[in-house]
Chains A and B, each alone.
Chain A
Amino acid sequence: MSQHYPALLVIVPLLSALLISIVGWLNKRFCFPIAVAALSVSLYSSVGLLLRVMDEKVILYFLGGWDPPWGIAYSVDHLSALVLVVVSVVALLNLIATQKSVEQEFSEKIGAFYTLYLLLITGLLGIVVTGDAFNLYVLLEITALTGYGLIAMGEDRAPLASLNYVYMGTIGACFYLLGIGYLYISTGSLNMTNISSILPGLYDSKVVLAAFIICIVGVFLKMAFFPLHAWLPNAYTYAPSAVSSLVAPLMTKVMIYVMIRLMLTVFTPAFTFSNLALSNSVVWLAVIAISMGAVLALGARDMKKMLCYVVIAEVGYMVGGAWLGNRAGMTGAILHIANDALMTLCVFLAVGNIVYKVRGYAFEDLKGMFRKMPYTMTGLVAGALSMIGVPPTCGFFSKWYLISGGIQAGQYGFVAALVFSSLINAVLFFRIIEIGYYEPFGADHGHGSSPVRMAEAPLTMVVPLLIVAGGLVMMGVYTGDIITHIIEPIIPPAIGN
């Protein structure tokens, strides 16, 4: 059974999605257990794959028994395994945590919601597992379409926001498809490893350079990298909270995975970093992305919008780190995929809890939160500390590597942007922590006991949040192990330093 993990972890959610759409019609109460079961199978498979990959280096799985390049191959290496585990964990925790929120916001559409949820996860897992470039496009679009649907389920501005996302997402996917087309013309193959073995002879070709740039631009559109980020704030803010806490941690990170996959596996580092003008411009774009994300977040007037801009800045971290062209930067970027997914999940879950109780996510809704929802706010503080980069949370360690990489590559603008962003994050998060801590100002200057009662979110919402918050610290402390065993093998020695 274990040799079928790569297929299992995609097929099981897919079939369960179809099952839920039928079952949801008949009896709504069975939808959630089926979803949990499906995602648990995925989680089990991905952890199993991670453990196997640490022994075997690369696991290949040919769908239908057809050899590549005629058949579609699934290939799992350390990078895929890491991202698989991250996606499965986030998906499962989010599913459990948002069950009550889903019941509150769309009780009639539970079947539809869980169907789309599982299809989204199928798409994401498939993107990570596949070793075929065109298959990736298909799964990219599966992910995107279900994402559009999920986001549109939100409040009244959501369909418009989702429609704007449709336009930009489609352009992005089409660019990717176009790039793959050029690659196909040059190499005749669609299998990633096959392409990478054919390409070295063609590095001078303009077609290959064009293919690379078009693919990367397409992926940049999908991951909301500045200046192609305009769709993200509205889409993620107006989405229902159960959806925000799913897509915000995952979608952009899986797109970063796609970018790194293109950079390292398909177009090997020898080609990717050979054009200094390109690398430098991307790093400078990343610097602008980080700074703009930070500044726009300061101007945001509600919590979710602020967090969306923070996500845009975090994307800047990862893209900049990957394009620095040295081991430390790439390590930082890959580590940040996992760390940022967890941090973003933590803060969005906390906001989701607040929305569940207070039905709003403006800053004023946070008044007195530390008394009313202490556990949720503990989770929020943990996520905030990680975003600011305070040890021993994991956020500090990815910043460590990113800054080290920036110093080694001589990109001091990137280092300055990272430090600036940490300081701005401190201001952003302490602003909302202050509102929760101080207001409403008591008439007795805090000398009597407060009349505000504790009204915490239900246990199923608080426990996953606290698990994630604990996970942030655990990931931080185990950074050394993660890097030596999982991330080091990913980066080919061809990258300098």
Chain B
Amino acid sequence: MPDLITSIVDYYNYLIYVILMMIGLYAMIAKKNLVKKIVGMNIFQTAIILFYVSIGAKKGATIPIIQHGHGEGAHEIVPSVIEAAEYINPLPHVLMLTAIVVAVATLGVALALAIKVYNRYETLEEDEILAQIRET
């Protein structure tokens, strides 16, 4: 039992992203409203983004910007050796900027499609749409 609690506490970021992912997946599958499905999809994507960002974090580390200050004392602040452990990993953040853009674009496309569907079927509920399709 203590091992379980230790692992839950140690890997809490993974747990959180998995839970978020499952919420998103549930919304996509179980909800009938198209917009809710789209929101679920976005939650799913956000979970992945959260995962990536969380793996870059390090204990006690600071933001990964090397200070080239100006004013007095500037020449002392630039360190000669850069310790990687002092800065959090910037690469996942950079990658996730791209992923966020992709998620937003997907959201935009999905909403545009939902508008088209609404224009055609006058409703955003999936069961009503399927009923209309079956009639034709």
Contact = CB atoms under 8 A, between A and B. Distances in A.
Touching in the complex, A and B, CB below 8 A? Answer: yes
Interface of A: 134, 137-138, 141, 145, 148-149, 152, 156-157, 159-160, 162-163, 166-167, 170-171, 174, 177-178, 181, 184-185, 190
A149 B133 CA distance: 22
Contacts of A178: 48, 51
B39 to A, nearest CB: 12
B130 to A, nearest CB: 9
A140 B95 CA distance: 15
A157 B133 contact: yes
A445 B114 CA distance: 53
B41 A166 contact: yes
A376 B102 CA distance: 40
Q: Which 6 A-B pairs have the closest CB atoms?
A: A159-B116, A163-B113, A141-B102, A159-B113, A159-B117, A166-B110
27 contacts: A138-B98, A138-B102, A141-B102, A141-B105, A145-B102, A145-B109, A148-B113, A149-B109, A159-B117, A159-B120, A160-B121, A160-B133, A163-B113, A163-B114, A166-B106, A167-B37, A167-B41, A170-B44, A170-B106, A171-B44, A177-B52, A178-B51, A181-B48, A181-B51, A181-B55, A184-B92, A190-B95
Contacts of B23: none
A157 B129 CA distance: 10
A171 B28 CA distance: 10
B55 A185 contact: yes
Given A160-B117, A163-B34, 11 more contacts: A145-B105, A149-B109, A152-B116, A157-B133, A159-B117, A160-B133, A163-B113, A166-B109, A166-B113, A178-B51, A184-B92
Contact of B106 (A145, A160, A185): A145
Interface in B19-59: 25, 28, 34, 37, 41, 44-45, 48, 51-52, 55
Interface string B101-136: 010011001100110110011000000010001000
Given A170-B41, A177-B48, A163 B106 contact: no
A160 B133 CA distance: 11
B103 to A, nearest CB: 9
A385 B113 CA distance: 38
B46 to A, nearest CB: 10
A190 B92 CA distance: 11
A49 B52 CA distance: 35
B110 A174 contact: no
Contacts of B41: 166-167, 170-171
Nearest to A144: B106
Interface of B: 25, 28, 34, 37, 41, 44-45, 48, 51-52, 55, 92, 95, 98-99, 102, 105-106, 109-110, 113-114, 116-117, 120-121, 129, 133
Contacts of B34: 163
Contacts of B129: 160
Nearest to B106: A170
B115 to A, nearest CB: 9
B57 to A, nearest CB: 12
B109 A174 contact: no
Contacts of A160: 113, 117, 121, 129, 133
A149 B109 CA distance: 7
A56 to B, nearest CB: 31
Interface centre among B51, B92, B102, B120 (most CB of A within 10 A): B102
A163 B113 CA distance: 6
Contacts of B51: 178, 181
A137 B41 CA distance: 17
Contacts of B99: 137, 177
A184 B110 CA distance: 29
A152 B55 contact: no
Contacts of A171: 25, 28, 41, 44
B113 A152 contact: yes
Nearest to B108: A145
Contacts of B110: 163, 166
B27 to A, nearest CB: 10
A149 B111 CA distance: 12
Given A134-B95, A166-B113, A141 B120 contact: no
A171 B27 CA distance: 13
A141 B110 CA distance: 13
B48 A162 contact: no
Nearest to A163: B113
B116 A170 contact: no
Contacts of B109: 145, 148-149, 166
A166 B40 CA distance: 12
Contact of A141 (B28, B37, B106): B106
A177 B92 CA distance: 12
A156 B45 contact: no
Nearest to A168: B28
Contacts of B52: 177, 181
Contacts of A185: 55
Contacts of B105: 141, 145
Contacts of B37: 167
Question: Most chain-A Cβ atoms within 10 A of its Cβ — which of B51, B105, B109?
Answer: B109
Contacts of A190: 95
A178 B14 CA distance: 12
A396 to B, nearest CB: 40
A137 B110 CA distance: 19
A71 to B, nearest CB: 13
